[in-house]
Structure 1
Amino acid sequence: MIFDNRPCDLGEGPLWHPLREQLFWFDITGRRLLTQAGGQAQDWTFPEMVSAAGWVSRDELLIAGQHGLFLFDLGNGQRQPLVALEADNPVTRSNDGRADPQGGFWIGTMGRNAEPGAGAVWRYWRGEMRRMFTGLTIPNAICFAPDGRSACFTDTVTGRVLRVALDAQGWPVGQPVAWLDLTAEGLNPDGAVIDADGVMWLAEWGAARVAAYDPQGERLRVVNFDAPHTSCPAFGGPDLGTLFCTSALQGMDATARAAFPAAGMVFAAASGTRGQREYRVEIGAAAP
């Protein structure tokens, strides 16, 4: 079903805030943060592109902007710069991101025109910003195993999802390895989230669906949505059993848009499982 009917050019970054019991998401190219609670819709517009968030407190989000992370007060709309993100590189912007079990925040960057190899994956943790992986084109699918011992991400253009081990503080150990290969099917892995049982729910751009894969990479089921460009899922609702999914109008011509009038909207479906509670970002020494 349609959860929110406001179309986004590039819907992304859904976040279920566990204290507010409220879904937030972004329209990256529209430079908007959107939300809906109790049937009331709200949005904020920013001077730059915004793409992903983590929660810090009931009223404060950490938001990934075009060239930096900042704290955003949902009550008064005030923002406070936290740390730069490729601020000296006019080619790139932020993309997919998510908080990890250790309280860090992973964020991918990419070229504004998907320039090959221009992107990277960074991690912010307790005041430190560190670049971990480079040479990526469209980093996506940042998500974490429930035990906090591994992370996954993808470079969408490769068709493969990678997995990397994490140490006790949440930093990568060794090199990422290919965990899921979708190249034979021509599928494009986009945003992803891992549920409480360790199953990955992966949005497949261009395929109008979110697919669930077990820890061994076997496809368990598919949830279809009425939008070709499904971009990122999130679990929410009182029991974390609702699967939300953002979508995008980007890349659709007039004929495609007429065929899929719900494209760009946010969808919701019963998942039959339970998601992980979204982790709190620990600001640490950099807190105001």
Structure 2
Amino acid sequence: MAVENIPFKGSVLAATASELGEGPTFDPHTGKIWWFDIVGRKLHECDAASGETAVHPLPFMGSVLARIDDGRQLIATDQGLVIRDTASGAFTPYVELEPDRPGNRSNDGRVHPSGALWIGTMGRNGEDGKGAIYHVARGTVTKLYDAMSITNAICFSPDGATGYFVDTAINRLMRVTLDAATGLPVGEASVLIDNHGASGGMDGAVCDAEGLIWNARWGLSVVDCYDPDGSLIARYDVPVSQPSCPAFFGSDASRLLVTSAWQGLDDEARAADPQAGHLIDLGITVKGRFEPDYRL
């Protein structure tokens, strides 16, 4: 059964014009939204209440941020995982991911309810099969899936017993049973949603408190909502052609935002997509949940 698009009723949270906006997360302790311009090597910060923004230049390509505690953040980069001091902005190396793959960078990732990080990598130019997905727990790195091209849609069910991920180049959302205590797979991954050959790449995703999967469809100007059995139940229009990753925010995680990008658009396409790269509030009410801290 076809699902009709729900017209956009939201607003722009931050007019950042990121070339490749990605990796959004909300810190309920500070009320701050954080996200990256991967290609532009910038970390963006926005106060969700006031709308005040700040830009932090980076010495690397960053793509994922996770809170550790009041004074530290974990950041995934093309140089491995680093720890950022939130007061000074100083970086301390934490762990290498792929020292044997210098042509790669980090891409999509998320912290499992156990406190472990799942982090995906990819070739800097999206080369076929150069990326992988890793599980990082207290500094120990375990490779989960290899020979991937564009790692995306990493997210977890509320109880931590199910993991999801996609290789956007293939466009099949995978589901795998996890050990809820560790975030490690306990079985083989299987296809949950098959969009292979369909328009629009399955990009970043997040799973809400009811287990619904919210997925940004790069190239389709929508954020899709699936139930846990893989059925598309809602499709929300957004005013950008390349939405990249959603995140819950607000005092009770009841709001939904999405990052976007202008990467790959020529002058004519950018003129037709003036909000490309902006941070977008979908203007809807959801039953979201806050991201867990990474456990050192």
Q: TM-score, normalised by structure 1?
A: 0.96
Amino acid at match of 1:101: P
Task: Mark the runs of 5 or more structure 1 residues left unpaired by the alignment.
Answer: 284-288
* CA distance, structure 1, for counterparts of residue 200 and residue 270 of structure 2: 21
1:79 equivalent in structure 2: 91
**1:236-251 correspondence to structure 2 within 5 Å:** 236-251=249-264
Q: Are 1:51 and 2:51 an aligned pair?
A: no
Question: Counterparts of 1:184 and 1:142 in 2: how far apart (Å)?
Answer: 21
- Per-residue CA deviation, residues 186-211 of structure 1 (Å, 9 max, x unaligned), is 33100000000000000000001110
Letter of the structure 2 residue corresponding to residue 28 of structure 1: I
Residue 268 of structure 2: SS of its match in structure 1? helix
In the TM superposition, residue 272 of structure 1 has moved relative to its aligned partner by 2.6
User: What amino acid maps onto 2:30 in structure 1?
Assistant: R
Alpha-carbon distance between aligned partners in 1 of 2:272 and 2:243, rounded to the nearest angstrom: 15
Cα offset for 1:22? 1.2
1:14 to 13, 21, 24: 24
- Equivalent residues in 2 for 1:60-71 (5 A)? 60-71=72-83
Q: Which of 196, 202, 217 is equivalent to 1:189? A: 202
**Between the two proteins, what is the percent identity of the paired residues?**
40
2:71 & 2:235 partners in 1: Cα distance?
Answer: 35
Deviation digits for residues 204-259 of structure 1, max 9, x if unmatched? 00001110000111111111111100000000011211111000000111111101
- The 5 Å alignment of 1:61-210 reads 61-167=73-179, 168-183=181-196, 185-210=198-223
Please state whether the residue corresponding to 2:54 is helix, strand or coil: strand
The ranges of structure 1 where at least 4 consecutive aligned residues each deviate by more than 4 angstroms after the TM superposition are: none
Query: Is residue 14–residue 51 contact of structure 2 (8 Å, CA) maintained in 1?
Result: no
Aligned to 1:42, which of 54, 57, 72? 54
> Matches of 2:226 and 2:34 in 1, distance apart?
25
When structure 1 is superposed on structure 2, of 82-91 and 24-33 the one drifting more is 82-91
- The equivalences for 1:17-32 within 5 A come to 17-32=27-42
| Alignment pair present for 1:255 and 2:268 | yes
TM-score (norm 2): 0.93
Q: Contact 2:247 / 2:258 at 8 angstroms: preserved in 1?
A: yes
Residue 184 of structure 1: how far off its partner (Å)? 5.2
Of 266, 269, 282, 1:269 maps to 282
What amino acid maps onto 2:22 in structure 1? E
Contact 1:33-1:50 at 8 Å conserved across structures: yes
Map Cα deviations across residues 150-174 of structure 1 (whole Å, 9 max, x no partner): 1100000111100111113211112
- Partners of 1:127 and 1:159 lie apart in 2 by 30
> Equivalents in 2 of 1:194, 1:275: separation in Å?
8
Deviation at 1:266, TM superposition (A): 0.4
Gaps (5+ residues) in structure 2?
A: 1-10
Deviation (angstroms), 1:143:
0.2
| SS of residue in 1 equivalent to 2:270 | helix
1:231 is aligned to 244
